[in-house]
Amino acid sequence: MAAERLVVIGGDAAGMSAASQARRLKGPDALEIVAFERGHFTSYSACGIPYWVGGDVEARDDLIARTPEEHRERDIDLRMRTEVTELDVAGQRVKALDRESGETYWTGFDKLVIATGARPVRPALPGMDAAGVHGVQTLDDGQALLDALDALRSEGPRRAVVVGAGYIGVEMAEAMLKRGFEVTVLNRGEQPMATLDADMGRLVHEAMDGLGITTVNGAAVTKILTGPDGRVTEVATDAGTYPADVVVLGIGVEPETGLARDAGLPVGPHGGLLTDLAMRVVGHDNIWAGGDCVEVLDLVAGRTRHIALGTHANKHGQVIGSNIGGGYGTFPGVVGTAVSKVCDLEIARTGLREKDARAVGLRYVTATIESTQRAGYYPGAKPMTVKMIAELRTGRLLGVQIVGREGSAKRVDVAAVALTAGMTVEQMTALDLGYAPPFSPVWDPVLVAARKTVAAVRGAGS
Amino acid sequence: MAAERLVVIGGDAAGMSAASQARRLKGPDALEIVAFERGHFTSYSACGIPYWVGGDVEARDDLIARTPEEHRERDIDLRMRTEVTELDVAGQRVKALDRESGETYWTGFDKLVIATGARPVRPALPGMDAAGVHGVQTLDDGQALLDALDALRSEGPRRAVVVGAGYIGVEMAEAMLKRGFEVTVLNRGEQPMATLDADMGRLVHEAMDGLGITTVNGAAVTKILTGPDGRVTEVATDAGTYPADVVVLGIGVEPETGLARDAGLPVGPHGGLLTDLAMRVVGHDNIWAGGDCVEVLDLVAGRTRHIALGTHANKHGQVIGSNIGGGYGTFPGVVGTAVSKVCDLEIARTGLREKDARAVGLRYVTATIESTQRAGYYPGAKPMTVKMIAELRTGRLLGVQIVGREGSAKRVDVAAVALTAGMTVEQMTALDLGYAPPFSPVWDPVLVAARKTVAAVRGAGS
């Protein structure tokens, strides 16, 4: 019998990374690891689902980084299709429900990792559960959508309505376009990609128009209409009604923290668990949490946010596993970097938008420039727009947004590092970024934006 | 008559950027600007010449950012085909030779910018001036090579020998391959791309093999052999003799500072002018220098280097012009970032190589990882190798080298910013870099390298 038992709730990125890293540092004699996963899969890339649906990725299993069997080979007692339904913090135990057998049982823990992830936001509107309405958060969701698309193949009209114009929405718009659908994106907000300022979102809107995707802004869904067979026929919004053979919901997620809340664990303003830098749940030395169910510190805004993103979940798991395994790691926070694409349009952001800056009391200036991702004379040079936000007076970088074509999005990483380092835009103008004609104009677009932002900081006076 | 006169020696990136920026800040009444250029062109992209020769860029004029006429429209008294042959520092005047008329004259200055650039290294070997041997530093060089290639078009064998396997060498190897030549690269060193460590250079070598480019290492050219018509026939090295219908010299450049040396201005260990942070020549408040004729401070090594690169030259010009125009700017130094490609192989580096670290007394650890530039399951995912070097004990990042396929090279910018900020590899493991399957695995390759380097720092003990 092992010296102590680690229980992990949730078998995806954060949970299984934590389990694997703890196992790497401590053998089965020192640490027993029991992991519960309520679904059919472990350690898969939810971010890859749009590309699987769109046909870029052939098989579902391509998205699975590690199967249950592979985890078990690493001496992790993984219990699939088993949901933790109750957490007894004081008693250091969890109650599990085996979904296959219906059996329930308690399991004690010395250490606990909560990695319950996020659940899709599904507004309680009429028709939301109709046949032909699909979420795309899990592999099961993706399979259900693909099956539905196959069934539609032989039929006549092929109209897809995507609800939501954030990352999942625009990626699913691309996927449905690739599947040969006429695609309409219904966007509640002013412009698509609300994670950008509206002036940059407008560029995304225009580019989506150019790709043949219709985006309707200011269109909040009020009802899903169905035919006599119970299948979706139209989507009604406060801005009009849109015919639909299939509806894809891409309206974001929220932390899955019901279990933790019921157990009295602390959640933040966005509904996510609150942790310290070592990813321990605040006030609980033997309980860790990570992935889509926690709030993370936004290093630029100085307060917590909820960001559901696989790359953070993996880092959390790594940190948690290191600490549980007797090593040391921290997750200092995020600067809010995100990249995405719709067909050949690339979209990136990091740091604060204008409204984020205002919300935390920062005064700022902005500058927007147009350049190209390669030297203008080099084949494939295409437009790239960079918006930069800097603090008034100090000139400290606050955020960057990029909309462009191939080779644009990952340049946001330069700004992500600069934000982490607390650089001013003046310091950024001297950055030694890689230059050669196939890769950049002689002034890298990020440097051009920094120079223009410097001028804005100066021009704004003190 | 203007209040004062600025004289600029050299009409390319640094010189004309300085002139243009000074003009932006001060009108002709306040500042007269006289610029001397001994060649036929101003403000052109020498870095673009390989792509023009290779056919990616159609016309020579595509490489010209600003013509003499455009500069003159901005009230710059630009004198083309006019070489400054003497600099009288005490007398504040320069002697100019009009290469068309043969006339010489003195011109006085209140402020002087030296931007004389670099000259190609041409070893004094027999046959080096034979017909069919071409440098590729200037537009005139490029035109001469293209004319020679046209003349060869109708003839039988088409064998190109490229001497040198640095940036220019590998870029010219690609260009000659695209022109339909059988290409042999003769490399004096252990592996191509001596700006990388040899272990990474070996990857470039293997990839060049795969592209059909023969690279011969350890092959120092001893003689160019010519036929009865005086044209090149073979290139002799200490490692063998190679048939050649055309020879391209890509063996680097050195600062063109004869004029400045003769005038007693200070040059550094690499033959470049020494400047302060405002780009003033050390000891001379009214003389500035920038571009390929100066040495720059290597912020990682803590000493000067010579780097001929358009992006630095443009920054220098901007800084010089701002200071002369009554504004303020500094060039704090470089971290040594460079990116390049051969066909679809991308090569990047920043910071110190192992031997650079040793040369300045730093002890270090290294780690090398293989990953992919996109999520492994995403179409077009291809190998990407990252080598990272960190200081012993402190774990401070010292350098990064990358060899990979499309989408690899510009990731070095992340390391360039981290070097500038003095980050440790431990800090780098938490960087919030953009993640989505088309752009990166869930652990960005730079983060994977940082994690492995952290382990190496720890493993090396104190």
Residue A1: what pLDDT? 67
Q: Give the residue from B73, B72, B94 showing the smallest Cα distance to B85.
A: B94
Among residues B339, B319, B337, B315, which one has the least CA distance to residue B47? B339
Q: What SS3 state is found at B358?
A: helix
If you count DSSP H runs as helices and E runs as strands, how many of each does chain B have, helices first? 12, 25
The number of C-alpha atoms within 13 Å of B92 and in the hemisphere containing its C-beta is: 11
* Residue-level pLDDT at A305: 96
- Is residue A109 situated within a structural domain? yes
Q: Judge whether B339 and A439 are in contact, CB under 8 Å.
A: yes
Q: Give the rounded percent of residues in chain B with a pLDDT score beyond 70.
A: 98
Structure tokens at A27: 């053998």
Q: From first to last of the 462 residues of chain A, give the pLDDT tens digit.
A: 688 999 999 999 999 999 999 999 999 999 999 999 999 999 999 999 999 999 999 999 999 999 999 999 999 999 999 999 999 999 999 999 999 999 999 999 999 999 999 998 888 899 999 999 999 999 999 999 999 998 887 766 689 999 999 999 999 999 999 999 999 999 999 999 999 999 999 999 999 999 999 999 999 999 999 999 999 999 999 989 999 999 999 988 999 999 999 999 999 999 999 999 999 999 999 999 999 999 999 999 999 999 999 999 999 999 999 999 999 999 999 999 999 999 999 999 999 999 999 999 999 999 999 999 999 999 999 999 999 999 999 999 999 999 999 999 999 999 999 999 999 999 999 999 999 999 999 999 999 999 999 999 999 865
User: What are the tokens at B135?
Assistant: 């440098």
Whether residue A312 sits in one domain with residue A276: yes
Q: Based on the fold, state whether residues A149 and A82 are members of the same structural domain.
A: no
Q: A interface mutation test: which of B51, B136, B322, B417 has the most A CBs within 10 A? A: B417
Pairing of strands A111-114, A287-289: parallel
Residue B330: inside a domain, yes or no?
no
- Strand pairing report for A77-80 and A133-135: unpaired
> Could you tell me if A459 lies within 8 Å of chain B, comparing CB atoms?
no
Q: Which candidate, A58, A59, A48, A63, places its Cα nearest to that of A172?
A: A48
Angle, alpha carbons B351-B354-B356 (nearest 5°): 65
Q: Please indicate, yes or no, if residue B332 is contained in any of the structural domains.
A: no
Distance CA A278, CA A289 (A): 10
Chain A residues touching B417 at Cβ < 8 A: 414, 417-418, 421, 423, 431
Residue whose C-alpha is closest to residue A18's, from A295, A325, A318:
A318
* CB contact A47 to B (< 8 Å): yes
Using a CB-CB distance cutoff of 8 angstroms, which residues of chain A are in contact with residue B338? 434-436
Judge whether B21 lies within some domain: yes
Residues 6+ apart with CB under 8 A from A263: A86, A87, A88, A89
Chain A residues lying within 8 Å of B436, measured CB to CB: 47, 167, 338-341
Tokens 């053979």 locate to A245
Distance from CA of A324 to the nearest CA of B (A): 18
3-state helix/strand/coil string of A350-365: EECCHHHHHHCCCCEE
Cβ-Cβ contacts under 8 Å for B458 (sequence gap 6 or more): none
What pLDDT, in 10s, does the model give residues B76-115? Answer: 999 999 999 999 999 999 999 999 999 999 999 999 999 9
- CB-nearest partner of A410 from B311, B439, B443: B439
Single-letter residue type at B144: A
Mean pLDDT throughout B320-326? 97
Is B89 a domain residue?
A: yes
For chain B, what percent of residues have pLDDT higher than 90? 95
Beta carbons of B389 and B291 less than 8 angstroms apart: no
> In chain B, whose CA is at the least distance from the CA of A413?
B433
Per-residue CA distances from B192 to B27, B185, B219, B237, B347 (Å) = 49, 9, 11, 16, 11
Contact indicator for A84, A113 with CB cutoff of 8 Å: no
| Closest residue in B to A334 (Cα–Cα) | B432
Sign of CA dihedral A299, A435, B281, B279: negative
Domain-located, residue B336:
no
- Reported ipTM exceeds the 0.90 cut: yes
- CA B80 vs. chain centroid, Å, equals 24
Distance between CA atoms of residues B451 and B262, nearest Å? 51
pLDDT tens, residue by residue, B139-192: 999 999 999 998 887 666 689 999 999 999 999 999 999 999 999 999 999 999
Residue B294's closest CA among B325, B254, B252?
Answer: B254
- Please judge whether B432 and A421 are an interchain contact, meaning their C-beta atoms are less than 8 angstroms apart: no
Q: Phi and psi at residue A204, in whole multiples of 5°?
A: -65, -45
Domain-terminating residue out of A234, A251, A268: A251
B62, B167, B375 member nearest A45 (Cβ)? B375
pLDDT of residue B462: 55
Domain CATH number, residue A179: 3.50.50.60
Cβ-Cβ contacts under 8 Å for B190 (sequence gap 6 or more)? B198, B201, B217, B218
| Co-location of B222 and B310 in the same domain | no
- Catalytic entry in B2, B47, B64, B431: B47
Residue A126 covered by a domain: no
Q: Is A303 found in the same domain as A236?
A: no
The set of long-range contacts for B377-385, using a CB threshold of 8 Å and a minimum separation of 24, is B377/A45, B377/A48, B377/A51, B377/A57, B377/A62, B377/A63, B377/B437, B378/A48, B378/A51, B378/A56, B378/A57, B378/B437, B378/B438, B379/A56, B379/A57, B380/B406, B382/B406, B384/B408, B384/B411, B384/B445, B385/B200, B385/B203
> B372 and B383 in contact (C-beta within 8 Å)?
yes
Strands B287-289 and B111-114: parallel
**What's the number of domains chain A is made of?**
3
Residues B44 and B110 in one domain: yes
- B118: pLDDT strictly greater than 90: yes
Q: How far is CA A152 from CA A228, A436, B12, in A?
A: 17, 48, 62
Asked if the Cβ–Cβ distance from A378 to B57 is below 8 Å, we say: yes
For chain A positions 237-266, those within 8 Å of chain B (CB to CB) are none
> How far is A277 from chain B, CA to nearest CA, in Å?
12
Same structural domain, B381 and B423: yes
Residue A245 and residue A258 in one domain = no
Query: Hey, of B312, B408, B432, B454, which one would you mutate to test binding to chain A, going by the most A CBs within 10 A of its CB?
Result: B432
Residue A185 DSSP symbol: E
Nearest C-alpha in A relative to B343: A438
B417 vs A407, A417, A436: nearest CB: A417
Exposure string of B313-338, with b = 16+ CB inside 10 Å and e = fewer, is bbbbbbbbbbbbbebebebebbbbbb
Q: Give the per-residue pLDDT at B278.
A: 98
- CATH of residue B423's domain is 3.30.390.30
Q: pLDDT tens-digit profile of B51-65?
A: 999 999 999 999 999
Strand segments, DSSP code E, in B227-301 are: 232-237, 240-243, 246-249, 253-255, 287-289, 296-298
Of A193, A216, A251, the position where a domain reaches its end is A251
Chain A residue closest to B378 (CA)? A57
What is the distance in angstroms between the Cα of B410 and the nearest Cα belonging to chain A?
A: 6
Tokens of B74: 């901005």
Instruction: Render pLDDT for B298-317 as a digit per residue (tens, 0 to 9).
Output: 999 999 999 999 999 999 99
By C-alpha distance, which of B151, B154, B134 is closest to B142? B134
What gap in Å lies between CA A205 and CA A216, rounded to an integer? 9
Pairing of strands A4-9, A31-37: parallel
CA angle at residue A295 from A290 to A301, to 5 degrees? 135
Q: Are residues A112 and A143 in the same domain?
A: no
Q: What is the least distance, in Å, from the CA of B439 to any CA of chain A?
A: 7
Domain span at residue A218 reads 133-251
Q: What is the pLDDT of residue B123?
A: 84
* A-interface mutation test, from B49, B167, B410, B427, most A Cβ less than 10 A away: B410
User: Cα(B203)–Cα(B440) distance, rounded to whole angstroms?
Assistant: 21
Is the CB of residue A84 less than 8 Å from the CB of residue A104?
no
Catalytic (active site) residue B47: yes
Q: Does residue A332 belong to any structural domain of this protein? A: no
Q: Are residues B211 and B179 in the same domain?
A: yes
Which chain A residues touch B340 with a CB distance below 8 Å? Answer: 436
Residues A14 and A97 in one domain: yes
- CA gap A3, A368 in Å, rounded: 59
Residue A86: half-sphere exposure toward Cβ, Cα within 13 Å:
11
Query: What's the order of all strands across the beta sheet hosting A31-37?
Result: A77-80, A31-37, A4-9, A111-114, A287-289
Task: Please report how many Cα atoms fall inside a 13 Å half-sphere around the Cα of residue B301, on the Cβ side.
Answer: 22
Q: How do residues B213-256 score in pLDDT, each as one tens digit? A: 999 999 999 999 999 999 999 999 998 999 999 999 998 899 99
Residue A56 has its nearest CB partner, among B312, B378, B440, at B378
- A148 and A114, same structural domain? no
The last residue of one of the domains, among B251, B267, B298, is B251
SS3 state at A283 = coil
Q: What is the DSSP string of A64-80?
A: BSS-HHHHHHTT-EEEE
Instruction: Collapse the DSSP code of A291 into the 3-class scheme (helix H, G, I; strand E, B; otherwise coil) and give the result.
Output: helix
B145 and B187 assigned to the same domain: yes
State the alpha helices, DSSP H only, in B96-166: 139-152
